[in-house]
Amino acid sequence: MISLVSRFTSGLSATIQVWENGTEIVLSDDSCPELDDTGIYAWNTDILGKQTHSLSQYHYRIIAGEEYVEGDFVLQDEQSIDGGMSGGLSSYIRKA
pLDDT mean over 13-29 = 95
pLDDT at residue number 75:
86
Which among 69, 64, 26 is positioned nearest to 48, based on CA atoms?
A: 26
Instruction: Identify the domain containing residue 32 by its residue range.
Output: 3-92
The 23-24 sheet, strands edge to edge: 23-24, 14-20, 55-64, 67-76
Number of structural domains the chain divides into: 1
pLDDT mean over 14-33 = 95
Torsion of CA 21, 51, 63, 5, to 10 degrees: -130
| CATH code for position 76 | 2.60.40
Burial state string for 37-75 with b = 16 or more CB within 10 A and e = fewer than 16: eeeebebebeebeeeeeeeeebebebbbeeeebeeeeeb
The SS3 assignment for 90 reads: helix
37-78 pLDDT, tens digit each: 999 999 999 888 776 667 889 999 999 999 999 999 988 776
Type of residue at 78: E
pLDDT at residue number 29:
95
